[in-house]
């Protein structure tokens, strides 16, 4: 190469590096220090924590804000791809040190670019959110940018997994991007999400509320159900995102990865039944029962603090990823409520979208009775569960542990709603309702007119129990495929999942179903 060409090339390369450094510095030292003082990592530190070491490849480094007057290195968002456990993942990380991570049109364009790329190659999208929302200076252009992102969140739903980590502010309409994704994870003290902030609320409704009380991680984990998981800090959230990805395929065109285990697939689990209280009215820890059955006792519970009467989460059985749904009799007696129905239905649909078989553990007396539940639409919400289970084409294995009554029996992955295999423990009771209720309805007059109503009632309840409160009536009619020794549950579930590996289902033509929302 000629000397003058070489000099010219070196000069340009030096300028390129200088520009790159400027972008990498983000909002500068003072703002970075402020970010750290708030217990938060910077966008680039977060990407390093999320991705396999050295795997991050940046795209759109030199993209600039539309308004050249704005000082916005990197346009306030770092985008690209990398790997998690060796699998490609597309990422964007909003940089709060640059104009508060606010979203302008080109900031959105960078996000949209990696979203489109992710779908082209069939890889998950992980968004790290830390933003003051729409960039005020850009006006409607900023809103348009959000629109472009939201549209892709919706259209790519079920195409590739989309995971949102909320690690700072996420306010106004901006919350709808995470809300449209499959999973929302929040950092305990630094993240908040709300549509309208405390000041606006105060002026409109006179309610006085702090950021944390209104939209902090705890509120979204316990009350609103917006957050699927809450972790103590950025690093813990990002470690969870990595773990979560391990249960999911890269796209709907693939199956979830298998996880090697030394846990014998035919391991007997006598401790499973030992955890179940023999008195059907007494609670017991369903989560502990699940842990005895799955590989290595590893169960990643999702939304653990929301609608605790139902348990959902991921595990592996015999190396296969499974989604687990279970009633928890220690909360509201394990009944199905509005929130529980929403939680389970959404989870079943997530599993179905990504080929994760669903294993359901049943101990349920019914939908929670009450005016509040009826008036708030338990019919509409409960219908989601029926719909989700019926619609799901993934392998579905059900284990009836104890009670399974009425509409809830159907809703909790019954054969008629499409379960592939229904197993019952000998402790199971499958009936229209519990013995007490049934005796009252069927024998009201006889009980009231008897000389000793209490004794008559007790006798009739016992008679009903003998006739209905066991799994064999349902098994005799074929609604239960097998009654099993609880200690063999792991072996049975694993065997059925292996058998169902090649399951295919044809559905009648439709544009799309109309899930009750």
Contacts with ligand HXC by CB under 6 A lie at: 31, 99-100, 102, 132-136, 143, 146, 169, 171-174
Q: How many helices (H) and strands (E) does the chain have?
A: 21, 17
Q: Closer to ligand HXC at the Cβ: 75 or 328?
A: 75
Return the number of the residue (56 or 96) whose C-beta is nearest ligand HXC.
Answer: 96
Number of neighbouring beta carbons within 10 Å of residue 476: 9
Which 3 state secondary structure label does DSSP give 407?
Answer: helix
Q: Smallest gap, in angstroms, from Cβ of residue 212 to ligand HXC?
A: 12
Q: What gap in Å lies between CA 110 and CA 132, rounded to an integer?
A: 17
Q: Which is nearer to ligand HXC, 153 or 365 (CB)?
A: 153
What would the two tokens of residue 492 be?
């049975």
Give yes or no: 215 in active site: no
**Which among 158, 407, 418, 437 is annotated as catalytic?**
407
For ligand HXC, the closer of residues 98 and 421 by Cβ is 98
Q: What's the alpha-carbon Rg for the chain, to the nearest Å?
A: 27
225 secondary structure, DSSP code: -
Dihedral sign from CA coordinates of 437, 442, 447, 449: positive
Nearest-approach distance from CB 169 to ligand HXC, in angstroms: 4
Known active-site residue 172: yes
- The residues, any chain, with a CB within 8 Å of residue 328's CB and separated by 6 or more, are 285, 286, 287, 308, 309, 310, 311, 334
Per-residue 3-state assignment (H helix, E strand, C coil) for 420-482: CEEEECCCCEEECCCHHHHHHHHCHHHHHHCCCHHHHHHHHHHHHHHHHCCCHHHHHCCCCCE
Query: Pick the catalytic residue: 74, 82, 172, 366?
Result: 172
CB of 500 to ligand HXC, least distance (A): 42
Distance CA 395, CA 393 (A): 7
Q: Which is nearer to ligand HXC, 192 or 314 (CB)?
A: 192
Q: How far is the CB of 220 from ligand HXC (least distance, A)?
A: 17
Which residue number, 35 or 292, has a Cβ lying nearer to ligand HXC?
Answer: 35
Strands (E), 133-272: 162-166, 169-171, 183-187, 192-194, 229-231
Both tokens of 434, joined, read 């519990």
Q: Give least dist CB 72 to ligand HXC, A.
A: 9
408 catalytic? Reply is: yes
Query: What is the rounded CA–CA span in Å between residue 234 and residue 300?
Result: 18
CB of 237 to ligand HXC, least distance (A): 19
To the query of whether residue 407 is one of the catalytic residues in this protein, the response is yes
Name the packing angle between helices 338-353 and 378-391 (round to 10°). 20
Active-site position among 28, 173, 370, 513: 173
Catalytically annotated residue among 118, 217, 392, 408 = 408
Any idea which residues carry the catalytic annotation? Answer: 172-173, 407-408
């Amino acid at each position: 190469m000629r000397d003058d060409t070489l000099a010219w090339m070196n000069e340009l390369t030096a300028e390129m590096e200088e520009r790159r450094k400027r972008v990498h510095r983000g909002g500068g030292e003072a703002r970075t220090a402020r970010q750290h003082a708030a217990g938060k990592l910077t966008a680039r530190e977060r990407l390093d924590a999320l991705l396999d070491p050295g795997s991050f490849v940046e795209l759109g480094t030199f993209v600039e804000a539309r308004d050249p007057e704005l000082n916005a290195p990197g346009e306030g968002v770092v985008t690209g791809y990398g790997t998690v456990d060796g699998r490609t993942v597309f990422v964007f990380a909003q940089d709060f040190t640059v104009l508060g991570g606010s979203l302008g049109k080109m900031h959105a364009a960078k996000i949209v670019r990696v979203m489109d790329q992710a779908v082209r190659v069939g890889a998950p999208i992980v968004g790290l959110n830390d933003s003051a929302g729409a960039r005020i200076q850009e006006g409607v252009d900023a809103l348009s940018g959000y629109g472009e992102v939201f549209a892709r969140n919706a259209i790519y739903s079920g195409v590739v997994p989309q995971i949102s980590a909320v690690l700072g502010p996420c306010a106004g309409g901006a919350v709808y991007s995470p809300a449209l994704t499959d999973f929302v994870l929040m950092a305990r003290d630094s993240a908040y999400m709300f549509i309208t902030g405390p000041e606006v609320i105060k002026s409109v409704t006179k309610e006085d509320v702090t950021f944390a009380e209104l939209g902090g991680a705890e509120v979204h984990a316990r009350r609103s159900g917006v957050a699927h998981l809450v972790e103590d800090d950025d690093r813990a959230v990002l470690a969870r995102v990595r773990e979560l990805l391990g249960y999911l395929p890269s796209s709907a065109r693939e199956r979830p990865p298998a996880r090697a285990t030394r846990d014998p697939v035919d391991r007997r689990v006598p401790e499973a039944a030992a955890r179940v209280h023999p008195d059907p009215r007494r609670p017991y820890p369903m989560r502990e029962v699940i842990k005895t059955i799955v590989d290595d006792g590893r169960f990643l519970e999702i939304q653990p603090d929301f609608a605790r009467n139902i348990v959902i989460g991921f595990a592996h059985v015999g190396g296969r990823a499974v989604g687990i749904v279970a009633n928890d009799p220690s909360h509201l007696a394990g009944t199905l409520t509005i929130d529980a129905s929403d939680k389970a239905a959404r989870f079943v649909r997530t599993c179905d979208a990504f080929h994760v078989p669903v294993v359901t553990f049943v101990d349920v007396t019914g939908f929670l009775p009450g005016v509040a539940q009826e008036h708030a639409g338990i019919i509409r919400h409960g219908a989601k569960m029926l719909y989700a289970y019926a619609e799901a084409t993934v392998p579905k294995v059900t284990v009836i542990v104890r009670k399974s009554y009425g509409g809830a029996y159907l809703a909790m992955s019954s054969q008629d709603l499409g379960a592939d295999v229904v197993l019952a423990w000998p402790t199971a009771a499958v009936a229209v309702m519990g013995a007490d209720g049934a005796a009252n309805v069927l024998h009201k007059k006889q009980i009231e007119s008897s000389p000793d109503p209490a004794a008559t009632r007790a006798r009739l309840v016992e008679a009903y129990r003998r006739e209905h409160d066991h799994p064999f009536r349902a098994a005799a009619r074929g609604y239960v495929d097998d009654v099993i020794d609880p200690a063999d549950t792991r072996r049975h579930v694993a065997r059925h999942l292996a058998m169902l590996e090649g399951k295919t289902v044809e559905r009648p033509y439709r544009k799309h179903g109309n899930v009750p929302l």
